[in-house]
Amino acid sequence: MTLSRMVAGLLVLVTITLGGQKAGWWAQPEPREPHPPTPAALAFAEAQRAEQARVAAARAENERLAAVQAPAETEDILPAGDGREETFTNCTACHSTAIIRRSGLTRERWDALIDWMVEKQNMAPLQPETRVLIVDYLAGAFPGRSTSPRARNPFLTD
Ligand code: HEC
Report the C-alpha gap between 14 and 23 in whole angstroms. 14
pTM for this one?
Answer: 0.60
Give the number of the atom of ligand 1 that is nearest the alpha carbon of residue 100: 29
Of all residues in the chain, the percent with pLDDT exceeding 90 is 60
Which residues line the pocket of ligand 1, CB cutoff 6 A? 90-91, 93-95, 99-100, 103, 113-114, 117, 121-123, 134, 138, 148-150
What average pLDDT does the structure give for the chain?
A: 88
**Residue located nearest, by CA, to atom 36 of ligand 1:** 91
Separation of 95 CA from ligand 1 center, angstroms?
Answer: 7
127 and 83 in contact (C-beta within 8 Å)?
no
Separation of 88 CA from ligand 1 center, angstroms?
Answer: 12
Give the number of the atom of ligand 1 that is nearest the alpha carbon of residue 90: 37
Q: Count Cβ atoms below 10 Å from residue 133 Cβ, excluding itself.
A: 19
Q: What is the mean pLDDT of residues 77-83?
A: 95
Q: What is the mean pLDDT of residues 104-118?
A: 94
Calculate helix-pair angle for 107-120, 128-141, nearest 10 degrees.
130
Residue-wise pLDDT for 123-155, tens only, equals 999 999 999 999 999 999 999 765 556 656 667
DSSP annotation string for the chain: -HHHHHHHHHHHHHHHHHHHHHHTTTPPPPPPPPPPPPHHHHHHHHHHHHHHHHHHHHHHHHHHHHHHSPPPP-GGGSPPSTTHHHHHHHHSSSS-THHHHT----HHHHHHHHHHHHHHS-PPPPPHHHHHHHHHHHHHHS-----SHHHH-TT---
Residue-wise pLDDT for 18-72, tens only, equals 888 888 787 777 888 888 889 999 999 999 999 999 999 999 999 888 888 767 8
